[in-house]
Amino acid sequence: MLAPKTVSIIPANPMAATTMDKPRQLRVAAYCRVSTDQEEQQSSYQAQIDYYTDKIAQNPEWRLAGIFADEGITGVSAKKRTEFIKLMKLCEKGKIDLVLTKSISRFSRNTLDCLTYIRMLKERGIPIIFEKEGINTMQMASEMSISMLGSFAQAESESISHNVTWGKRKSFKSGKVSFQYARILGYEKGEDGKPRVVPEEAEIVRRIFSQYLNGHSINKIKKELEQDGVMSSTGKPIWSPAVIRNIIRNEKYIGDALLQKTYVVDFLTKKIKKNNGELPQYYVTGNHEAIISKELFNRVQEEIARRGNKRKVSEKNAITEHGKYSGKYALTELLICGRCATAYRRVTWARNGNKRIVWRCVNRLEYGKKYCKDSPTVEEYKLQDAIMRAITLMGEAKDEFVGTLKDSLRLALTGKADQVDTFAIKKRIDELNAVMLDLVQVSVKSNAGADYFDDKFKEISDEIKKLQETLKKQEQRQMIEQNNNLRMVEIFRILDNADFSLAEYDDVLVRRLIENVKVISETKIQVTFKGGFEIEQGLQ
C-alpha cells in the first residue's frame, strides 16, 4: 500500500517582495483519489502531481499549497481518508484559499460528507472547483444545488456498490470461491490460480482439530501453540482464541466452501453483518484439496455444539444457564453422582500440612444434605485406578463389544421404519404449486365467491406444508443416522488403535473412550463406554 503523500510548497521569503511589488497569490491545494493497485497508484499519483503543478504554475494568481491523495476505495467515508482530513484542517486554519479536484465523486461519494465540507469551506470563503462538472461552489446560490451535487456523487457510489455486489452474488451462484490466503492457514495460491496445500501449515491445522477433539480447550490449544513457537497465519507467535475457533469451524479445510457467510448492510458505512438467512447461501463441495477428513470435521462440530450446550451444575453465582467447558480434567465432564445425577467437582483437602485430592458431588458441596443426602466422596487416585482397570477389561472384551455394536448398527440401518420417497414428495409439492398458480388465475376471472377460493387455497397450502414437514423430518432422520454411523466408525477406530495396557491414568484416552462415569457408592463406580457398553468396577 502506498503511504499517503502530501506535496507541500515552501512559501517564498516574505521579505523578498512586498504587496506593493506583487499581488497576493491564492494558495491552491489539489485533492485526488488514486487507484488501489500499487503500480497504477504510483503512476497515477505522479501524473496528478505533474498535472496540478503545471495547471497552477500557468496561473500567475495561484501558487501550489499541496497535493493530497487518498486511495480510491474510501470515497464514501471521510474518516478513512487521512489526506482529505489533513486538507480540511489546513482549510480550517486559513492555510488554503482554493481547492481543486477532478470531480464531485472524487471529492466525496457520501451526500452528508459532501454537503458538510462544501458548507464549511464556503463559510470560510474557500471555493472548491470541480473540474469535470465545471462548478465553483462559491458561485452556487441555492442550497438545493449543493444538495444535488452530493446526491449525484452518492448515487454514483451506490451504483458502483450494487454492481460489485451483483457481480459477487453472480459468482456465488456459479460456485466461484475466493480465498483470502493471508488469513487462512494451510493454503497458498498455486500456479494454476487454485488453492494449494502448504504441508507444514496443514500439520498445524490437523493438530488443532485433533487437540480440540481430544478435550483441549481453546485457551489450552493457544498456550501450547505459543509454547512450541508455532506461527499463526499472519506470521506472529501470538495466537488469538478467535482465530482458533474460526479454524475448527471452517469448512474450507474439508475442501468445501460456504459462500455469502456475511453481507454488507450499508454501502456507505460498509457495515458487515453475519448472514442468518437474510440472503441465500451457496455450498460448494470438492472445490479444492482437503486438509482434514469430513468425519473429523463433523465430530469436531458435534463437540463444539456439546460444549456450547453444557448445562450448569451449580445455581450459585451462575451467570447463564450454561456451564463453562473445562479442558483441564476429563472427569469434570464425565463424573456424575449416582444419587442425584449432578456432576462431581475436583476438590483439594488440606489438613495438618497434608493434601488430598478428592471428587465430590456439587450438590453436597454447595447445599450440604439438602438435595443429596449421602453421595460419597471419592479419592482421585482410587477413581483413576478403577477407571483404568475398566478400560483394561474393555480391551479384553473388545471383540465381543465390537460385534455387539456392529449388530446394533446393522439393525438400525436396515430396520428403519416409515421409509419416505423424497422424490415423490418433491414432485407432489411442485404439482400443488402449479395448481395454486392456476387457481389464482381462475379466481381473477371467476364470479365465484371469495370464500370458495380461500378454502381451496387453504386446502392446498395445508397439504404443501404437511409435505414439507415430512421432508424436513426425513432430512433430520438421515442426518442423525449419518452421525450415528460416523460415531460407530470412530468408536471402532479408537478400539482398534487404543492401548488398553496403559498402567497410568490418561485423560485423552478417557475422553475418547468413555461416555460417563457414575459413582454408585463409596466402593463402586459404573463406567459407560461410548456405544453403551457398561462395566462396574470397585474402588480399592
Query: Look-up: residue for cell 444535488?
Result: 148
Longest dimension (CA), the chain: 111
User: Residue 339 is which amino acid?
Assistant: R
At residue 160, the pLDDT reads: 41
C-alpha cell at 498: 487404543
**What average pLDDT score do residues 458-463 get?**
82
Residue 203: how many CB atoms within 10 A of its CB?
Answer: 13
- What span, in angstroms and rounded, lies between the C-alpha atoms of 452 and 449? 6
Asked which of 50-59, 101-110, 453-462, 463-472 is least confident by mean pLDDT, the reply is 101-110
The pLDDT > 90 percentage for the chain reads 16
- What span, in angstroms and rounded, lies between the C-alpha atoms of 508 and 212? 11
Residue 353 has pLDDT above 80, yes or no: no
Cβ distance 518 to 526 under 8 Å? yes
pLDDT tens-place string over residues 180-212: 788 889 999 888 888 899 999 999 999 999 999
CA angle, 131 then 136 then 140, to 5°: 140
Report DSSP letters for 271-289, one per residue. Answer: EEEE-SSSS--EEE-S-S-
Mode of pairing for the β-strands spanning 26-34 and 98-101: parallel
Burial 233-253 (b: 16+ CB within 10 A, else e): beeeeebeeebbeebbebbbb
Q: Which of 104, 119, 106 is nearest to 150 (CA)?
A: 104
Residue 97 has pLDDT above 60, yes or no: yes
- What span, in angstroms and rounded, lies between the C-alpha atoms of 520 and 540? 14
Mode of pairing for the β-strands spanning 271-274 and 26-34: unpaired
At residue 42, the pLDDT reads: 59
**What average pLDDT score do residues 456-483 get?**
78
Query: Look-up: residue for cell 428403519?
Result: 416
At residue 450, the pLDDT reads: 56
Burial class (CB in 10 A: 0-12, 13-18, 19+), 150: buried
pLDDT range class, residue 471, cuts 50, 70, 90: confident
pLDDT tens-place string over residues 277-308: 555 556 677 888 899 988 888 888 888 887 77
pLDDT tens-place string over residues 391-400: 888 877 777 7
At residue 201, the pLDDT reads: 93
At residue 305, the pLDDT reads: 80
